[in-house]
């Protein structure tokens, strides 16, 4: 195992990481987008993005796009390269505010977190559409890990922390259990060639109705390209 440093809250760090990875000339068969924060107080990343949207979504958007060439080169007809993005059931109540993605008008930790998780689902579906249109041997899927007992809950209200401490053993998944669907998406033969899926408990299920809005997917993709400073070649595709 070899580690390379990458701060998903910094566009500069992401670009430096990609340069270091490319210099190794390694194939890239699986990319798991899993970093995240939840219910943090209103604050910004080093690039000035609202932290939920900047770290949970934009960081992964840029990282994935910068690594797409390596993924495409590594995938074959019989063994597709795979992109797995970790979202959350919270996306079901999320609303995408295209005119205020940074939550400047009215900040809510819950709303900002849910929006970032919905954005990840919309991004995955648009990405799969583009990969298919290009004939790439790469698939993109999105995963809901369930309620997992990790440090992600450190910013919740203290009463919730107490309830979590008392009931986690009964209602929460262990980190190993929470990772199972991500691992399934990454290596299962059953997922070979399958893309654009929303997975929960190792099964394909339906995501929020709004996540299937193709116009919303396109608009978010275009706006995201502007925000992270990459060309939107995809805008010329159907």
Distance (Å, whole) CA 129 – CA 178: 27
Nearest-angstrom CA–CA distance, 36 and 19: 23
List CB contacts of 57: < 8 A, sequence separation 6 or more.
116, 119, 120, 123, 224
pLDDT of 37 reads 86
Whether 113 sits among the annotated catalytic residues: the reply is: yes
Q: Taking 50 as the threshold, does the pLDDT of residue 193 lie above it? A: yes
* Mean pLDDT score across all residues of the chain: 88
pLDDT of residue 98: 94
pLDDT in tens, 5-44: 999 999 999 999 999 999 999 999 999 999 888 878 899 9
All domains of the chain, ordered by start, with CATH?
Answer: 11-235 (3.40.50.720)
The residue from 57, 113, 125, 198 that is catalytic is 113
CB 30 within 8 A of CB 84: yes
- Alpha carbon separation from 11 to 37, 48, 228 (Å, rounded): 17, 11, 7
User: Between residues 166 and 128, which one has the greater pLDDT?
Assistant: 128
Fill in the DSSP letter of residue 151.
Answer: G
CA distance readout (Å), 52 to 49, 169, 196? 8, 28, 23
Q: Is the pTM of this model over 0.85?
A: yes
How much is the pLDDT for 162? 43
Distance separating alpha carbons of residues 195 and 214, to the nearest angstrom: 16
Distance, CA of 138 to CA of 67 (rounded, Å): 12
Residue 120 has pLDDT above 90, yes or no: yes
What mean pLDDT comes out for the span 45-66?
97
- Helix, strand or coil for residue 165? helix
**Sign of CA pseudo-dihedral 98, 63, 172, 189:** positive
Q: Which of 123-132, 154-163, 187-196, 212-221 has the lowest mean pLDDT?
A: 154-163
Q: Are residues 118 and 210 in contact, defined by beta-carbon separation less than 8 angstroms?
A: yes
Q: How confident is the model at residue 138 (pLDDT cuts 50, 70, 90)?
A: very high
For 141-188, write each residue's pLDDT tens digit.
Answer: 999 886 544 554 444 543 444 444 445 444 565 667 768 899 999 999
Model confidence at 121, in pLDDT bands (50, 70, 90)?
very high
């Amino acid at each position: 195992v070899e580690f390379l440093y990458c701060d998903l809250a910094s566009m500069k760090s992401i670009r430096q990481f990609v340069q270091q990875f490319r210099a190794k000339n390694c194939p890239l068969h699986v990319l798991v987008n899993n970093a995240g924060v939840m219910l943090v107080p209103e604050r910004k990343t080093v690039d000035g993005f609202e932290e939920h949207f900047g770290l949970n979504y934009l960081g992964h958007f840029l990282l994935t796009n910068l690594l797409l060439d390596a993924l495409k080169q590594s995938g074959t007809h019989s063994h597709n390269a795979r992109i797995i993005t970790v979202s959350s059931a919270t996306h079901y109540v999320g609303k995408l505010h295209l005119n205020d993605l940074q939550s400047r008008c009215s900040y809510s930790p819950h709303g900002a977190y849910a929006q970032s998780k919905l954005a990840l689902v919309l991004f995955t579906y648009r990405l799969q559409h583009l990969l298919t249109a290009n004939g790439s041997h790469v698939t993109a899927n999105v995963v809901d890990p369930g309620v997992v007992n990790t440090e992600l809950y450190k910013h919740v209200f203290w009463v919730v922390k107490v309830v979590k401490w008392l009931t986690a053993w009964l209602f929460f998944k262990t980190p190993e259990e929470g990772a199972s669907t991500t691992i399934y998406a990454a290596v299962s033969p059953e997922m070979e060639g399958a893309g654009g899926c929303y997975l929960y408990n190792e099964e394909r299920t339906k995501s929020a109705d709004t996540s299937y809005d193709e116009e919303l997917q396109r608009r978010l993709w275009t706006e995201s390209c502007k925000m992270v400073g990459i060309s939107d070649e995809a805008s010329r595709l159907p």
